[in-house]
Every structure is written in structure tokens, then in C-alpha cells.
Amino acid sequence: MDYSNWNIVYAYTRAQAFADGVLVDATEEARELGFKVPVAITANLLNLYVKASEGLIADGQSTEARLRDVLMVLLYKIKQQRPNTDRITFKVKFAMGPTRRNISRTVELTAVIGPGDEGEPVLTIMLPEDE
């Protein structure tokens, strides 16, 4: 079907999502680990699981290390995946309280690669409900 003559009623760009705070850029951290495309995570994922609370920081956790954990697990899963897929579902275990109390939660995440605002490949990591 040819959609070229359709009027677009509404479009929400990736740039708008960054400006609105819906997406958070993680490209620099991802490149350090070997990712070759721009990477973003949803603010929902950041605020619920990646961002270390004061109690977790006092216990030796950091937001940077938690983000690195997400990226490393994803990189491992990408290397295991068959080629030509645009999404990967993977699980990450997050400390949710002091490590001495062993409070943690295993969270299912989704990573989707697709076109950015200019058609370039971009990767977005999110919770299933963020899609």
C-alpha cells in the first residue's frame, strides 16, 4: 500500500522525546562498551530501576554502574541473538535495597533498534510498558 499521499495527523520525534525527558541519552556510556549506534533509555526505566537512591549510593551502588550493568547484559544478549532481529527481551537483576538485606528485583527489559529522526539506526532500551 502506498502511504506517500496520506496526511500525517501527528508525529512525535525522538528529538522531542529527549527534549521532553521521555528518553535519556546513554550513547556515551554505550560507546565505551562497544555499541556502535546511539542508545537511549526511557525515563521510566531510569527512574524506577537504574537511578540509585541515596540508600543504594550509601551501600556502594551508583547510577553509572547500574546503567553499565544494563548495557553489559544487553551486549551479551545481542551477541547470542540470531541476526536480523530488531528487538531483544532480556532480564536484569537490580538491587532495590541494602545488599546486606539482599533485596532485589529481576526486571524484564526490551531493546529495540530502529530508525531515528533522520533514518539512522538507533537503539532504545525500555520497560515493556514503555513501548
The pLDDT, as a whole number, for residue 115 is 93
113 closest CA partner among 85, 82, 76, 92: 85
What the block records as the C-alpha cell of 60 is 556502594
In a domain, 109, yes or no: yes
In a domain, 64, yes or no: yes
Cα separation of 101 and 120, whole Å? Answer: 44
In a domain, 83, yes or no: yes
In a domain, 78, yes or no: yes
Which residue type occupies 40? A
Total domains in the chain come to: 1
Cα separation of 33 and 25, whole Å? Answer: 15
The pLDDT, as a whole number, for residue 34 is 95
Give the position of cell 547510577: 63
In a domain, 121, yes or no: yes
Q: What percent of the chain has pLDDT over 70?
A: 92
> Coil, helix or strand for 7?
coil
Residue 61 has pLDDT above 80, yes or no: yes
Report, as an integer, the average pLDDT of 97-117: 87
What the block records as the C-alpha cell of 31 is 560507546
In a domain, 34, yes or no: yes
Q: How confident is the model at residue 53 (pLDDT cuts 50, 70, 90)?
A: confident
Domain ranges, residue 39: 21-130
Tell me the pTM.
0.88
In a domain, 6, yes or no: no
In a domain, 11, yes or no: no
Residue 9 has pLDDT above 90, yes or no: no
